[in-house]
Amino acid sequence: MNKNMYHFIKEKANQYHQETIAIRRDIHQYAERGWLEMRTACFIASYLEKLGYEVFVGEEIMKKESRMGLPSQAILQSHYQRAKVEGANSFYLEKVKEGMTGVAGILRNGEGPIIALRFDIDALGIIEDNNETHFPYQNHFESCHKGAMHACGHDGHTAIGLTTAKILMDIKEKMHGTIKLIFQPAEEGVRGAKCICESGFLDDVDYIYAAHIMPQSSNYDLYFGMNESFATTKLDVTYHGVSTHAAESPQFGKNALLSAANCILNLHSIPRNSDGQTRVNVGVVHAGTGRNVIPETAKLEIEVRGVTTELNRYMEMYARDIINASALMHDTVVEIKEMGKAYALKCDEDFMNEIRYLCQQNLTDLKLPKKNLSPLGGSDDFSYMMEYVQSHGGKATYMKLLTKVKASPHNTAFDFDEEVLNKGPRIMASIAYSLLK
Amino acid sequence: MNKNMYHFIKEKANQYHQETIAIRRDIHQYAERGWLEMRTACFIASYLEKLGYEVFVGEEIMKKESRMGLPSQAILQSHYQRAKVEGANSFYLEKVKEGMTGVAGILRNGEGPIIALRFDIDALGIIEDNNETHFPYQNHFESCHKGAMHACGHDGHTAIGLTTAKILMDIKEKMHGTIKLIFQPAEEGVRGAKCICESGFLDDVDYIYAAHIMPQSSNYDLYFGMNESFATTKLDVTYHGVSTHAAESPQFGKNALLSAANCILNLHSIPRNSDGQTRVNVGVVHAGTGRNVIPETAKLEIEVRGVTTELNRYMEMYARDIINASALMHDTVVEIKEMGKAYALKCDEDFMNEIRYLCQQNLTDLKLPKKNLSPLGGSDDFSYMMEYVQSHGGKATYMKLLTKVKASPHNTAFDFDEEVLNKGPRIMASIAYSLLK
Amino acid sequence: MNKNMYHFIKEKANQYHQETIAIRRDIHQYAERGWLEMRTACFIASYLEKLGYEVFVGEEIMKKESRMGLPSQAILQSHYQRAKVEGANSFYLEKVKEGMTGVAGILRNGEGPIIALRFDIDALGIIEDNNETHFPYQNHFESCHKGAMHACGHDGHTAIGLTTAKILMDIKEKMHGTIKLIFQPAEEGVRGAKCICESGFLDDVDYIYAAHIMPQSSNYDLYFGMNESFATTKLDVTYHGVSTHAAESPQFGKNALLSAANCILNLHSIPRNSDGQTRVNVGVVHAGTGRNVIPETAKLEIEVRGVTTELNRYMEMYARDIINASALMHDTVVEIKEMGKAYALKCDEDFMNEIRYLCQQNLTDLKLPKKNLSPLGGSDDFSYMMEYVQSHGGKATYMKLLTKVKASPHNTAFDFDEEVLNKGPRIMASIAYSLLK
Amino acid sequence: MNKNMYHFIKEKANQYHQETIAIRRDIHQYAERGWLEMRTACFIASYLEKLGYEVFVGEEIMKKESRMGLPSQAILQSHYQRAKVEGANSFYLEKVKEGMTGVAGILRNGEGPIIALRFDIDALGIIEDNNETHFPYQNHFESCHKGAMHACGHDGHTAIGLTTAKILMDIKEKMHGTIKLIFQPAEEGVRGAKCICESGFLDDVDYIYAAHIMPQSSNYDLYFGMNESFATTKLDVTYHGVSTHAAESPQFGKNALLSAANCILNLHSIPRNSDGQTRVNVGVVHAGTGRNVIPETAKLEIEVRGVTTELNRYMEMYARDIINASALMHDTVVEIKEMGKAYALKCDEDFMNEIRYLCQQNLTDLKLPKKNLSPLGGSDDFSYMMEYVQSHGGKATYMKLLTKVKASPHNTAFDFDEEVLNKGPRIMASIAYSLLK
């Protein structure tokens, strides 16, 4: 009977495959960056509403002031106009217009565990390849928003999420408990998870899981968890000095750029740590207004990382000392803004084993690896949700959905094999069923 | 009789004063930055043509490849369109469209000395004050080109130049020799003088002089020369590295920003020089594309200075070593572009005395200082022309035209008393007459 | 019968234990630093000679010019005098006087494998604790050479080596092949192994092994190999500039200290490497002669490390770029001297298993760990010999001899339990017998 | 009659010339560095005593705790032993033994002005040339104290001072007032003047003057004053961090050398000042104890200067900010010790004119320059005494005594023409007589 149900889920995933592909391509074409996923969010909300979900948008699942790395009002405003032009549902658009672009759907059927699935929905700030060999270009669904591109598979995640929603609604009566499907904005830059956690929406969750589309190096279909991720903190640092004419009276200036140069060099000289790998980068610097003027301001985009949350904390604390000391060095004033934060991933061993058992028993055509974990390498702020649910007594894991890809993630020519849009919803829905059956 | 002629010149300056003011306000309103003075240049050329001057434009007085600090093709192109819309003379516009915005008028009357007068015509990259107390705003001639403002008096210089042209034409028959009136582009950033020198246009000049409107601290009307200027070199430096993901494999990157930070700190640490004051500044830095990407390029706008040409050379040579070593330090490639150059001012003592004598004898209502020289403080690339003429056996001086000002030069609220537009043409024309009479 | 032989070795180790202790205490008392182990080397050579070994000293096993990090002639000379006073054998003393302090003994008995055992003999530059609770002080064998102390157990290694020599001579007839006992100078600073390799003394060796006394955290007696060591390169870097009076004419100087400061900061900013842990340190800096003089020279003692030989190479290559660029930065001249080098340890799996089998079968009272390898953490230039033998087709391992210690290695209060002087020779000799029986 | 007295002084200077030379050579041979002039001070005190002066030594004219840049107790002690062996007067030696090496002699004759003459007595830390062409070597009076050399003429100053004392005693009865002859220690490093000022010994002084032997570029005999000197502050800075093994756990260290490297680079990057020349130097750095140890301490010898006292204050304040910020940068603790201080020289115009008048009228064989002032270039802490006397209402000047020299001051081959030992006492005594006659 269970067997039959897993088989039913598989058939539904097959049946919906073309629609899933269509959704993915639509989302891909209208790629929107973090906090600007206005058309995307409205699309999701309308879709979930039509399926019969209770829909939660914007402030209903996000704490406004906990968002990090928000774009300017002018940018928010112009994207709002664009989303309107592009036909976003006007009811939902009003809810998301201030960059409140999170959406969730809830499905309840009596008593039982409360589980959450997370799908991230934002694009990257990349200009998409328009080469004949690029699949989205060939098939006319390349991004029509220049400078925004789904080069990390979140278009796929969104489509998988919506089809998962559809399948779960199909089998609603067979499950006992509550399912929260979370469509998270602004994962790039690890900015969006925090505000959902701090809204309280996850407080009662017993299980949370997510999956990321990843390049298939062996021929496995998935890993049950990830490790070797980086905890990370993103900081925007601005030095404010005093400008003056560089020839007439340099002594009356306070040189923000000298503070910045010290900051850059010294951040890179934070001692290596024998407890594990750490990272630091100053990725962007803008300073000064004219060649013959002592620079009044210097703005730096900084990130630190560590393979454990503790190592990241070591880096962040040391970096903050350097940032502050660099201001004192040339008598400037410094402003530090936290723009993003993620923890290191800690997947629950027994939850991964449970999913493994499910797959081995019921999804027998999948090719499974021997070990649960595969390294992530980078950072993901789903770690923030995991940490939150775990600290409230729940279980969490973050899986890898493996498929063939063109180019590597974050590359202008990135693309993935759409077969993953079939197995993705199937796996996500099967786990939900398994937890609530 | 001579006395009468100087009186005649004075009366002409009075007579033309309102027109001079009108020209100044027109130029002020259509402020154009260096190499973009297309409408301005066409205005000048047409005006000179109407007066009966032989007119030289663009390649006729400029060596194209000797221009420094040129804007991009896109900017040149859009300014060309704008100048067209704003009614620039289409014959001349074609000649200046590639940023070839220098203009000269020649007046010949038989054998005699060859003299040159220089007037600079470019505006600054400043957004003009739109405050009720700002005179150009009150009188509706504030800049209509946002981000370009005549905040250093070159609008006045242009108007003085054209009225001087008019007066000199009036007294043409009384003079023997040749007058070259040079309207120089791109003085700001000391970029424009070099290409005129290297065109050969000054090769036969016996005397060259110019004057700059300056704030009147005492109640003198002019100084006969300036000293204590800075020789200077402007360099644009770009470090090219290799970008890579900052977390995954930082070792595969080549960090252009680390090169830049070393360059900045070390430029400021060039040893002081016991031979006199020196300066160095890195005024603008832009580096990197994303927080989590090792910066691939870093662009710096640098200037060095010295109170003598030798001290500037010391600074430039040392700076170039540092710029190059900073590339080697982190295995990046560096590109150095010279964007401007000026020498220290050396006014000829006897030429200044000659002008003093002229003024004391014939322009007796002017208030004159006891000493010839007054400090400049900054840099001016008229020094380039002076050096050129002097090294070809001619004489040169650079005078101060003193008048009351609002705010200081390069300030968004800068303005000068338009009475200087009366005495300016009078003094410039009187000197020409005195040299050629 | 074999069993009996291992038992015989054990009994001999017991029998010689007091003598081993006496040797260790003598060596401890007359602690000598790297390349200065003149009394120590003569002691060893005489002892081996008395046992009947063929003795090789100085140039007979070392390539003179391959020694790294040699002290000055003056220091060599004064230590020679001291060794003479302290009764060093005058025949051998002449051979080691120039810092040629390596010694080897060879024992041959017919055809068979050629094996090598290495024991390091140098002390550290540390002032020994003279506290009542310090065992060597209590027992009157603390170092009489102020500033030299056996704080890393090499006194024990020397004693173990000589007793191993004695036992092996006792059982000579039972073994077929050749044994080379190598007493290596200057292991501290990883300076001494290279010159022995490059002398050709190891060219024909089939097996090489060594053991280091280490703190016992569990109650195991030994590990069969070590990993997680650092490959390392030690560099002495001297910047040569030009001094000048700092007030009168700073521009005529070339500031070696500015080169050094750049070098220091930038070495620490070498990017982290995702392939594994790396290290860099500038441990010692001396620069300049007077407060008001631009520093003419700056000397830096630098080391880089990596957990693999490749990672160390990455660090060394990057560091050399920085060192050279820092000279160019302020027009100084740089001199780089390689002072030491070690590779990462790679113990041969089957050789370790062979020793494990030997111990499990025949040294059954030893407490053995389940895994072969234990991390080293630091660096050891025995890696140089291992690499050399392995690249010539031989096998190698570097074992840990575990025992109780007071304080940690390199601490002024370090001491070890002398029971290790019993099991040490027993294990070393048993392995030799096992290989040659 | 006055004429006669100046003639008398001249004859006395001639008569004592050979003795003055002998004193100079003795002082040269027993050169002693700052605060260590124990034999020198005893020699002076005994000499003054024999002449009949009231003698003041050590605490009688110095405030002990106001001495700057004192050597260690061990060095003071060993120099005390040496001075004893070299026959220093034991009564005075006890007074100077703690580095209290200032001496003064007072000559009183009734009511009248109180004047002070200052002679500095310390040598430099330089190893004297022992070349056949070096005059002191030829004549067997080169320094017998290796590493101390009179390479700045203070041996001459001392000899001039004592002969001046002798002449003034000869003409005591002709003068009305009080003469204080001050023999100041530790001028090098500008360390000694402050403690004499703060003892109160100069509180009642009406005129103070001194003269320095200088290379004669023209053929003048003296300048009446000096300008263009540097005000200066000398700082010893020590960073205290935490050492740790550089490979095992670099994160537990606090790297004093990284603080030092930042300090060095940033001190050199203090902005140039349009008010005049400034200087900064880090002349000596010692850091760290071992290549593989994170440096626990780093000691820097720093000086800043400015051509006015205000410019020096600007430099010192900025430098102190940098020094402190560099500690915060890597979480080290910094200790700052003031080691010396001098002001910019401000010679009183009317006092210089008075001396000029005296020379023109009465020392008519001297060759005199037209202007009073000649640049010093460096720093001298006689400025401290001048400032002190001037702020108490007195007058001051610091003269140049010009003569031929070999090599430049502070060079190992420096030597001066001993003819200056004739005109020196004559000029110094003539001025005193002129003020008190």
Q: Which long-range contacts (CB under 8 A, 24 or more apart) does C59-65 make?
A: C59/C95, C59/C100, C60/C95, C60/C104, C61/C102, C61/C103, C61/C104, C61/C182, C61/C196, C61/C199, C61/C201, C62/C100, C62/C102, C62/C195, C62/C196, C62/C199, C63/C195, C63/C196, C63/C198, C63/C199, C64/C98, C64/C100, C64/C195
* DSSP code for A204: T
A3, A115, A434 from A363: Cα distances, Å: 9, 21, 12
pLDDT surpasses 80 at A3: no
Query: What is residue A21's predicted lDDT score, i.e. its pLDDT?
Result: 98
Q: pLDDT grade, residue D4 (50/70/90)?
A: confident
- By CA distance, what is C272's nearest residue in A? A279
* DSSP code for D86: T
Q: Which residues contact C257 (CB under 8 A, 6 or more apart)?
A: C239, C241, C287, C288, C295, C298, D264, D282, D285
pLDDT surpasses 70 at A306: yes
In angstroms, the CA C277 to CA A307 distance is 12
Q: How many CB atoms lie within 10 A of CB A359?
A: 22
Query: To the nearest whole angstrom, how far is the Cα of C42 from the nearest Cα of chain D?
Result: 28
pLDDT surpasses 70 at D163: yes
Per-residue pLDDT, averaged over A259-284, amounts to 96
**Among D248, D285, D302, beta carbon nearest to C377:** D248
Per-residue pLDDT, averaged over D113-139, amounts to 94
Prediction ipTM score:
0.82
Query: pLDDT of D196-225, one tens digit each?
Result: 999 999 999 999 999 999 999 888 999 999
pLDDT surpasses 80 at D287: yes
Which chain B residues have any C-beta within 8 angstroms of a chain A C-beta?
Answer: 125, 189, 230, 232, 234, 245-248, 250, 257-258, 260-262, 264-265, 268, 279, 281-295, 298, 301-303, 305, 339, 377-379, 410
Query: To the nearest whole angstrom, how far is the Cα of A254 from the nearest Cα of chain B?
Result: 12
Pairing of strands C207-215, C177-184: unpaired
* D274 contacts B277? CB cut-off 8 A: yes
Per-residue pLDDT, averaged over D227-237, amounts to 93
In this complex, how many residue pairs, one in chain C and one in chain D, have their CB atoms less than 8 Å apart?
Answer: 139
- By CA distance, what is B279's nearest residue in D? D272
Per-residue pLDDT, averaged over D171-191, amounts to 96
CB contacts, 8 Å: D410 with chain C: 245
**Among B266, B273, B294, beta carbon nearest to C262:** B266
In angstroms, the CA A353 to CA D333 distance is 52
* A271 contacts C272? CB cut-off 8 A: no
Q: pLDDT grade, residue B2 (50/70/90)?
A: low
pLDDT surpasses 70 at B3: no
Query: To the nearest whole angstrom, how far is the Cα of B272 from the nearest Cα of chain D?
Result: 7
Interface probe, candidates C127, C214, C249, C257, chain D, greatest D C-beta count within 10 A: C257
Query: To the nearest whole angstrom, how far is the Cα of B310 from the nearest Cα of chain A?
Result: 17
CB contacts, 8 Å: A265 with chain C: 265-266, 269
Query: pLDDT of A46-95, one tens digit each?
Result: 999 999 999 999 999 999 999 999 999 999 999 999 999 999 999 999 99
* B262 contacts C250? CB cut-off 8 A: no
Query: pLDDT of B249-278, one tens digit each?
Result: 899 999 999 999 999 999 999 999 999 999
Q: pLDDT grade, residue D3 (50/70/90)?
A: low
pLDDT surpasses 70 at B184: yes
Query: To the nearest whole angstrom, how far is the Cα of A238 from the nearest Cα of chain D?
Result: 17
D105-124 as b/e: b if 16+ CB within 10 A: bbbbbeebbbbbbbbbbbbb
> Can you tell me whether residue B222 is helix, strand or coil?
strand
Query: To the nearest whole angstrom, how far is the Cα of B55 from the nearest Cα of chain A?
Result: 34
Query: pLDDT of D313-347, one tens digit each?
Result: 999 999 999 999 999 999 999 999 999 999 999 99
CB contacts, 8 Å: B271 with chain D: 268
pLDDT surpasses 70 at A2: no
Q: What percent of chain B has pLDDT over 70?
A: 99
Query: What is residue D320's predicted lDDT score, i.e. its pLDDT?
Result: 97
In angstroms, the CA B259 to CA D397 distance is 51
pLDDT surpasses 90 at A1: no
Query: pLDDT of A230-269, one tens digit each?
Result: 999 999 999 999 988 888 889 999 999 999 999 999 999 9
* D278 contacts B277? CB cut-off 8 A: no
pTM of the shown model: 0.86
Interface probe, candidates A245, A304, A328, chain D, greatest D C-beta count within 10 A: A328
The tokens of A37 are what?
A: 């996923």
* B279 contacts D272? CB cut-off 8 A: yes
B341, B403, D278, D343 from D347: Cα distances, Å: 42, 40, 20, 12
Tens of pLDDT along chain C (437 residues)?
456 899 999 999 999 999 999 999 999 999 999 999 999 999 999 999 999 999 999 999 999 999 999 999 999 999 999 999 999 999 999 999 999 999 999 999 999 999 999 999 999 988 998 888 999 999 999 999 999 999 999 999 999 999 999 999 999 999 999 999 999 999 999 999 999 999 999 999 999 999 999 999 888 999 999 998 899 999 999 999 998 889 888 999 999 999 999 999 999 999 999 999 999 999 999 999 889 899 999 999 999 999 999 999 999 999 999 999 999 999 999 999 999 999 999 999 999 999 999 999 999 999 999 999 999 878 899 999 999 999 999 999 999 999 999 988 888 899 999 999 999 999 999 999 999 99
Q: pLDDT grade, residue B316 (50/70/90)?
A: very high
Query: To the nearest whole angstrom, how far is the Cα of D402 from the nearest Cα of chain C?
Result: 19
pLDDT surpasses 80 at D186: yes
Query: What is residue A265's predicted lDDT score, i.e. its pLDDT?
Result: 97
Query: What is residue A69's predicted lDDT score, i.e. its pLDDT?
Result: 92
CB contacts, 8 Å: D242 with chain A: none
CB contacts, 8 Å: C268 with chain A: 268-269, 271
pLDDT surpasses 80 at A437: yes
- By CA distance, what is A258's nearest residue in B? B265
* B279 contacts A285? CB cut-off 8 A: no
Using left for φ > 0, alpha for ψ between -120 and 50, and beta otherwise, residue B10 falls in: alpha
* C258 contacts B269? CB cut-off 8 A: yes
Query: What is residue D2's predicted lDDT score, i.e. its pLDDT?
Result: 57
In angstroms, the CA C71 to CA A201 distance is 69
Which residue in A414, A416, A418, A417 sits closest to A126, CA to CA? A414
Pairing of strands D373-375, D225-227: parallel
Query: pLDDT of D349-368, one tens digit each?
Result: 999 999 999 999 999 999 99
Query: To the nearest whole angstrom, how far is the Cα of C269 from the nearest Cα of chain A?
Result: 4
* B292 contacts A246? CB cut-off 8 A: no
* D285 contacts C291? CB cut-off 8 A: no
* B247 contacts A378? CB cut-off 8 A: yes
* C283 contacts D264? CB cut-off 8 A: no
Q: How many CB atoms lie within 10 A of CB D404?
A: 12
Write out the H or E segment, with its range, that includes residue D323: helix D309-329
CB contacts, 8 Å: A275 with chain C: none
Query: What is residue C175's predicted lDDT score, i.e. its pLDDT?
Result: 96
pLDDT surpasses 90 at D88: yes
Mean pLDDT score across all residues of chain B: 95
Query: What is residue B244's predicted lDDT score, i.e. its pLDDT?
Result: 87
* B314 contacts C274? CB cut-off 8 A: no
Interface probe, candidates C149, C292, C293, chain D, greatest D C-beta count within 10 A: C292
CB contacts, 8 Å: C279 with chain A: 272
- By CA distance, what is A301's nearest residue in B? B291
**Among C262, C290, C379, beta carbon nearest to D247:** C379
The tokens of C43 are what?
A: 């002691």
Query: What is residue A228's predicted lDDT score, i.e. its pLDDT?
Result: 83
8 A C-beta contact, residue D192 and residue D383 = no
Other chains touching C, judged by 3 or more CB pairs under 8 Å:
A, B, D
* B269 contacts C253? CB cut-off 8 A: no
Rg (chain C; Cα; Å): 23
In angstroms, the CA B104 to CA B61 distance is 7
Q: pLDDT grade, residue D17 (50/70/90)?
A: very high
Of residues B293 and C257, more confidence is placed in C257
Query: To the nearest whole angstrom, how far is the Cα of C265 from the nearest Cα of chain B?
Result: 10
The tokens of A204 are what?
A: 């009662």
In this complex, how many residue pairs, one in chain A and one in chain D, have their CB atoms less than 8 Å apart?
Answer: 70
- By CA distance, what is D257's nearest residue in A? A269
**Among B285, B291, B294, beta carbon nearest to A234:** B291
Query: To the nearest whole angstrom, how far is the Cα of D252 from the nearest Cα of chain B?
Result: 23
Query: What is residue D131's predicted lDDT score, i.e. its pLDDT?
Result: 87
